[in-house]
Structure 1
Amino acid sequence: MNWSSFLFVLLAACANVVGGLMLVLKQNWSRRGLHALMALSAGLLMAIAILDFIPDSLEHESSSPVYILLGVLAVYFFQQYVAGHFHFGEETHVHDHVKSTTVGAMAGMLIHTFFDGLSIVASFEVDFSLGITVFIAVLLHKIPDGLTISSIIFILFQDRKKAIGAALLLGVSTLAGAAAAFVLSDFYLPGEQTVAVAIAFSSGIFLYVAATDLLPAVNAAGDRRAALFFFVGVLLYYVLQWGSNWLWLAPSLH
C-alpha cells in the first residue's frame, strides 16, 4: 500500500478549496453580477462535461452515452417529482428549478470527486509514474470544480460560508475516495470502467444543470453583458488547465 499517494490526494483536495476561495474575492454581488455568475458557471460546467468528462469516459467505456443520458434523466426526475417536497427557506429568490438542480449538481460533483481520490490511489498502487499522470489529469479540473459548485451554491443561498463549504465538501469527498481505495486495496479496487460510468453519469448531470436551468435564467434576464460570461467560463476552463500544466512543468524546465 503506497501511503505517499495520500499527499497527492491532499493536494488535489486543496485545489477544490482554492477554486471555491476564488469566489470570495468579490465582496458585493449585484443582480447583474449574479446573472454573470450563472453564465460563468454554465460555461464551466459545459466545458468540464464536454471537454473532460465525456472524452475520458468514452475512452474506457463504450456505453458511456447511456450513462450520460441516465444522469440527465436522474436530475429531471428529481426536479419534477422529488424536489417539490423539500423547502430551502424564504431567504432566497432563485427559480425553484435552479434550487432543485443545485442538489443534483452537488451530487454529481461529489460522485466525481470521490472517484478522483480513488483513482489517484489506485493508480499509485499500479505504478508511481502512472499515479503521477493520473494526479496531473485530476488536478487540471479541480479548481474549476471548486469554483463552479461554489458559484452555484452562492447563487442559491447568497452565503459565502455555504459556498466555500460546498468546495470543502468536494475536497472531503476526494479524501473519502482515497480512504475507500486504501481500505479496498487488499480486496478489490473498482476498475477503469466503473470510474468511467461514474464520470459519464456526472457529465449528464452537469449538462442538464447548465442547459436547462442556469442558461435559461441568464437568457430570461435579457442582459447581454452578463450573458457574455458564458464564454468567459469556457475560456476560464482553458486558462486554469494551462495554469495547472505550467505550474507542474515549470520546475522540470530548470
Structure 2
Amino acid sequence: MDILFYVLLAAAANVAGGLLIMAKRSWSQHESHALMALSAGLLFAIALMAIVPEAVELHKSSPIFIILGFGLFFLIQQILSSHDHSVKSPRTRGMLFGMMLHTFLDGVSIVMGFQMDKAVGIVVLFAVLLHKIPDGLTLSSIIYTKSRSRKKAVYASFLLGLSTVAGALATMSATQFFAANPVILPFALSLTAGMFLYIVTIDLLPAVIALKNKRVSIYFFYGILLYIGLHEVLDLLPFQLH
C-alpha cells in the first residue's frame, strides 16, 4: 500500500536520526553536553516553528491547550518528582511520552494528507520528514547523555518510528472517527507543544545553564539554526514537486 510505504519511510527517518548517536565510537562529556544543548535548540524550534503553527491553524483555541499541556506536564513532574536522572526517571519517561505522542500524530497527518489528495499528502510527508531525523537525534542524544547507553538511545528512536506507524494504522482503521472530530488533532498537537516547551525550558536549558560553559551553550542556538535551515529547504520542496 502506497500510504503505508510513505509512513514506513517517515518512521525510518526517526531511526536514522537515532542512529546518528552511533556515528562515533565514544562521546566525551563535553560532546554529550553539546548534544544536549543542540537537542534543546531543535526541540524548541520544532515546537514553535512546526507544531504550534499547525495547531493554531487547525483550531483557534489551540493556544489555551498549549498552556494546558505545559501545566499538565508540570503537574505530572511534580507528582512523579524524583532525584533519579537515569533513563527510567520521570522526566525522561515524560519526554519519551511527549515525543511518541508527537510522532503518533505524524502518522495521523501523513494518512490524512494522502486521503485528502495525493499532492497534499506528498507535501505533508516532506514536512514530516523534515523534523523526523531531528526528532530521533533529539531523543537518542538526551537518553544517551542520561544513561550513557547507545542501546537505549537507539531503542528510543525505534519507539518513535513504531509510534508513527501506530498513528497511521489507527487513522486508517478509524478514518471516520478522526474526520468527525476535527478538534482531536489540534488538541493533541497543542498538548505536545506544551510538553515540548516544558522539557526545553524547565529540564534541558537549566541543565545547560548549570554547566556555565559558553562553548556548550552556543549549541542551543546551533540547534535552532539547524532547524531553520531545514525549514528553508522544505519551502523549496513543494515548488520542485510541481
Q: TM over 0.5, yes or no?
A: yes
Once residues 172 and 25 of structure 1 are traced to their aligned partners in structure 2, the CA distance between those partners, rounded to angstroms, is: 22
Matches within 5 A, 1:1-254: 3-84=1-82, 92=86, 99-185=89-175, 187-190=176-179, 191-242=181-232
Contact 1:143 1:240 survives alignment (8 Å) = no
C-alpha deviation, 1:242, in angstroms: 4.6
Aligned residue type for 1:61: H
Once residues 119 and 8 of structure 1 are traced to their aligned partners in structure 2, the CA distance between those partners, rounded to angstroms, is: 12
C-alpha deviation, 1:72, in angstroms: 1.2
Contact 1:121 1:178 survives alignment (8 Å) = yes
Aligned alpha-carbon RMSD (Å): 2.4
DSSP-derived class of the 1:189 partner = helix
DSSP-derived class of the 1:29 partner = coil
C-alpha deviation, 1:87, in angstroms: 6.2
Once residues 249 and 65 of structure 1 are traced to their aligned partners in structure 2, the CA distance between those partners, rounded to angstroms, is: 28
C-alpha deviation, 1:173, in angstroms: 0.5
C-alpha deviation, 1:241, in angstroms: 3.7
Distance 1:181 1:19, change over 3 A: same
Contact 1:140 1:245 survives alignment (8 Å) = no
Distance 1:197 1:249, change over 3 A: closer
Q: Which runs of 5+ in 2 are unaligned?
A: none
Aligned residue type for 2:208: V
Distance 1:83 1:154, change over 3 A: same
Once residues 152 and 216 of structure 2 are traced to their aligned partners in structure 1, the CA distance between those partners, rounded to angstroms, is: 24
Q: Which runs of 5+ in 1 are unaligned?
A: none
Deviations 1:64-119 (A, max 9, x none): 111111211122112111243x967xxx5x9x9xx432222111111111111122
Scaled by the length of structure 1, the TM-score of the pair is 0.86
Scaled by the length of structure 2, the TM-score of the pair is 0.90
Aligned residue type for 2:56: L
C-alpha deviation, 1:161, in angstroms: 1.0
Number of residue pairs aligned between Structure 1 and Structure 2: 241
